[in-house]
Structure 1
Amino acid sequence: MAATRWLVAGVLAYVASIVGLGLLYGYPLKYYEPVLPFVLVPAMLVGVRRWMPDQCSMWLGLALGAVLAGGVAWFQVYVAGTPRAFGAHGNPIPFGHIALMLSGASMCGFLYFSRRRESLALRMLCLAGVAGGFVASFLSGSKGGWFAIFLIFLIWGWRVTACRPMAVRLAGVVAICAAFPLLLWLAPRELVWDRLVGGLDGALHWFSAGDVTEGSVSIRFEIWRFGLSQFWERPLFGWPQSEAVAAMREHLRQFDVHAVLPPNFGTFDNLLVETLIGGGLVGLLGLVSLFVGVLVAFARLYLRGAADHREMALAGLLMAVFVLGYGLSVDVLGINAFRQVFVSWSALWLGMSLWAPADWRRPETR
């Protein structure tokens, strides 16, 4: 099927670029571990076709996961006294970002149950999942993904008012744009507003004087600038990973960053820059192929697929867009949790969108 071909072709191009660069630079076997989930995509699609979960159960499971994430985040911050919620990840960034992916999936579940006129309890649980993802993201302090919250609100408002006149739909968009700053203002000040102000202050210092003053925005700007300069020196295949990280650490010694960087810091905190410096144009071609394949596959299903599968196609589109957005502040495909979620959910939603009949329900099994 066309959608399958697009996704599998993108995945294979990405895998080929990673493996080719590994062979070129003679990396050890552990270098290839991140590509294993992508290699398994065809098998995942076959598995979904042979055993498809019930769509209602899938949406409820994602919503419950988002609610749980919000509850864990609240407990860690307000009961356990943790400065930033990290869930079970040990790091607040993947916890907050993946909670937002659960939130976006819960929004798609709400649209699914609303369109089918399911019970109010199911719809309310999905809305609770949307809110739970927001809470987990805010309490994690992971501001690099907060644009996703605005996107969830925007798409929800646009889809809910689908049968209304265009003037009403546009008014809803304006209201959402106005309400988003209010939502940020009502969020925990030290974890949200203070971090936004601190990041903005760091950005202004970097643009005006080139100084690194905090460990979020200004240091990322400096790392990106250095990474891009390194790319222009070797644009085709990039640099070996060890040389790239060593050069970055040497460059950052001119700044007083010991208080904001861990001793083993070894990432460029940007998916695009990390790819350009460690893979050059070859790596960039593989990365672009991966996301183009995923986006085109789900876009085809959203525009041409059965009505009962549009929410899964929308969820696939949102997930790819979210991961790309997160890639501006973290090397998302370099973190195992992001890879697992991105690959497994893409295969699940694509497979169900392609092969599950609109009225399909998983039969009872012993």
Structure 2
Amino acid sequence: MRALMLLVFISLLVVLPSAHWGVPLFGLILLVPASAVIRLSAATRKPLDAAPFNLERDDWRWVLALLAYGSLWLLDVIRSRQWPADTTGWTIPLPLWPLLAAVFLIWLLRYPPGVRVFWVAVCCGALGAGSIAFYERLILGKARASNDLNPIIFGNLSLLLGSLSLLALLWCLRRGHARSLGLALLALLAGLFGIAGSLLSGTRGGWVALPFLLILWFRTSRGLLPAAWRYSAIAALAVVFIVAVWLPSTNVAPRLAEAVTEAQQFQAGDSRGSVGLRLEMWRGGLTLWSEKPWLGWTESGVIQGLHALIDSGEISSRVHRYRQLHSDVIDTGARRGLMGVATLLMLYGVPLWLFWGRLHSGCRAETQLMAGAGLMVCVAYIDFGLSQSMLRDPLGLSGYLGLCLACWASLRGTEARAIKRAAQQPAGRAPTRH
């Protein structure tokens, strides 16, 4: 049941607009209580795959980071008496989501899903996102693909799912079955579709993350592919990306030229376009943060503070319609001060440190790939958060929490099964690297 929930959540994350909250809600109401029944029947399963294991120190570090981030945000809501609101003004209980994620993490770690579920899910999600993007741009003629979501969030998650699908390609090649070539081609197609979905969405901020994700793919593939294959793959992907940039149908080159023009206009004192407005919001957010550095202005105080800066002429009046500052760090600092930024760094840094340690530990191939996937999620969101408040968007926050938890639970399950297999092998026989 855990595997099914992860499969549906990741596969439909950007395909079905309500999946990011509907699937976790379904799991909270039905699947978590049903786990007690599953636990009673666990004795009839294979011991290697079904036996639970105790949470270790690294697992509790993850739980602590989630609790710290959600609790401080919740205290800020209590202090300001206002819940976060989306772009339409609807209030959303986002501070509760990291707390619920901690519950889900403990639940997933008791009987972790296999890695196959994760790789199949990201490939399905990337194929779905890319297919929607092609349909909206080529058939419907839309200027930006979005699936009726925020095109920035849609494009960023499409890019991330596509990059994870390229890691699934490595997993398929390592399987060694006769059908692995077909699965590998499907994973490659999913990777290209996910990246294409990002390009067709016109999301410029996310494109900066692509070189870093390719570097992570190259590092993760060390020891899994011959060096010539690794360099050839990176070169081929770079060529594909460059060609896609210059194709008129993708609208990438005009979007990049537009960003340069808007930055020049901002330097000249004219805050026009998305780049100029972002820079204006960052200036206003940093000004507010500097006035209340420790605890910030609270959820309700930031908007009031921005309006005061607009009235005094310190920032442009064009930013009045925005409810977030288009930067996770600046937005968090302005609302919750250094205390909030510290919990944000924990939310980024704890999984980043844990996954990085696994990548460098000389572990089995499956663990190495899952560590690389977790690093991709963290690095991508750090980059996305530079120009968009991803963690204040319901889809963005649920995507980070869900993908990170899925990577960690699958990785820990792989480690636990490897330990049990090693214990069952005859003495003196070294475990094989799969």
TM-score bucket of the superposed structures, by smaller chain: 0.7 to 0.9
Secondary structure, aligned partner of 1:328: helix
For 1:20, the equivalent position in structure 2 comes to 75
- With a CA cutoff of 8 Å and minimum separation of 6, indicate the structure with the bigger relative contact order: 1
2:277 matched residue in structure 1: 219
Tell me if structure 2 keeps the 8 A contact 1:140–1:191: no
Distance in 1 of aligned mates of 2:304 and 2:345: 27
Distance 1:85 1:190 in 2: 10
- Alignment CA distance shift 1:171-1:100 (3 Å): closer
Say whether 1:302 aligns with 2:363. no
Q: Which residue of 1 aligns with 2:385?
A: 327
Moved more, 49-58 or 121-130: 49-58
CA contact (8 A) 1:14 1:290 kept: yes
Instruction: For 2:278 and 2:181, locate their aligned partners in 1 and report how far apart those are by CA, in whole Å.
Output: 45
User: Which of 119, 124, 129 in structure 1 is aligned with 2:185?
Assistant: 124
In structure 1, give the amino acid aligned to 2:357.
R
Partner of 2:153: 94
Q: Distance in 2 between matches of 1:315 and 1:297?
A: 12
Q: Does 1:137 align with 2:231?
A: no
Paired residue secondary structure (1:45): helix
Q: Is the 8 A contact 2:127 2:190 kept in 1?
A: yes
Please name the residue that 1:33 is paired with: 93
Aligned residue identity for 2:69: Y
Matching residue's letter, 2:157: I
CA deviation profile, 1:135-194 (whole Å, cap 9, x unmatched): 11011111110122223333334555647898x699769957974772453344663111
Query: Is the contact made by 2:217 and 2:372 (CA closer than 8 Å) also made in structure 1?
Result: no
| Shift in CA distance, 110/219, structure 1 to aligned 2, threshold 3 Å | same
SS in structure 1 of the partner of residue 324 of structure 2: coil
Separation in 1, partners of 2:126, 2:225: 30
Q: CA 1:182 to 1:101, structure 2 compared with 1: closer, same or farther past 3 Å?
A: closer
Q: Unpaired segments of 5 or more residues in structure 1?
A: 361-366
CA contact under 8 A between 1:4 and 1:297: conserved in structure 2?
no
Separation of aligned partners in 2, 1:128 and 1:169:
17
- Looking at structure 1, the residues matched to 197 and 326 of structure 2 have their Cα atoms a distance apart, in angstroms, of 21
CA distance in 2, matches of 1:324, 1:349: 17
By how many angstroms is 1:290 displaced? Answer: 1.4
Q: Partner residue of 1:3?
A: 58
Assess if the C-alpha contact under 8 Å between 1:270 and 1:327 holds in 2.
yes
- 8 Å contact kept, 2:220–2:369: no
User: Alpha-carbon deviations, 1:279-305, whole Å to 9, x = none?
Assistant: 111111111111111212222332334
TM-score where L is the length of structure 2: 0.73
8 Å contact kept, 1:139–1:188: no
Q: How does 1:307-318 map to 2 (within 5 A)?
A: 307-318=365-376
Q: Within 5 A, what are the aligned runs for 1:136-175?
A: 136-160=197-221, 162=223, 175=235
Work out whether 1:108 is the aligned partner of 2:167: yes
Mapped contact 2:220–2:368 kept (Cα < 8 A): no
Task: For residue 20 of structure 1, report the CA deviation from its aligned partner.
Answer: 2.9
Out of 397, 416, 424, the position equivalent to 1:339 is 397
Q: How many angstroms does 1:239 deviate by?
A: 1.0
| Aligned AA (2:156) | H
In the alignment, the residues of structure 2 paired with residue 177 and residue 129 of structure 1 have an alpha-carbon distance, to the nearest angstrom, of 13
Write the letter of the residue equivalent to 2:122. L
Q: Give me the whole-angstrom Cα distance separating, in 2, the residues matched to 1:177 and 1:251.
A: 45
Q: Specify the structure having the higher radius of gyration (Cα).
A: 2
Give the Å deviation of 1:311. Answer: 1.2
What is the TM-score normalised by the length of structure 1?
0.85
Shift of 1:50: 4.5
Give 1:29 shift.
9.5
Aligned-residue offset at 1:226: 1.5
Instruction: Report the equivalent of 1:363.
Output: none
Output the aligned Cα RMSD: 3.0
In 2, are the aligned partners of 1:301 and 1:353 still within 8 Å (CA)? no
- CA–CA separation in structure 1 for the residues paired with 2:104 and 2:329: 27
Aligned pairs, how many? 353
For residues 372 and 124 of structure 2, the distance between their equivalents in structure 1, rounded to whole angstroms, comes to 19
Aligned to 1:242: 300
Runs of 5+ consecutive residues of structure 2 not aligned to the other structure: 1-55, 86-90, 421-434
What is the deviation of 1:126?
A: 0.9
Deviates more, 1:101-110 or 1:351-360: 351-360
2:276 corresponds to which letter in structure 1? Answer: S
Cα separation, 2, equivalents of 1:165 and 1:76 = 39
**Residue identity in the other structure for 1:242:** S
Q: Secondary structure at the match of 1:84?
A: coil
Tell me the alpha carbon deviations over residues 8-46 of structure 1, each in whole angstroms, 9 at most, x when there is no partner.
222122123213323333435987821222112333233
Give the partner amino acid of 2:288: Q
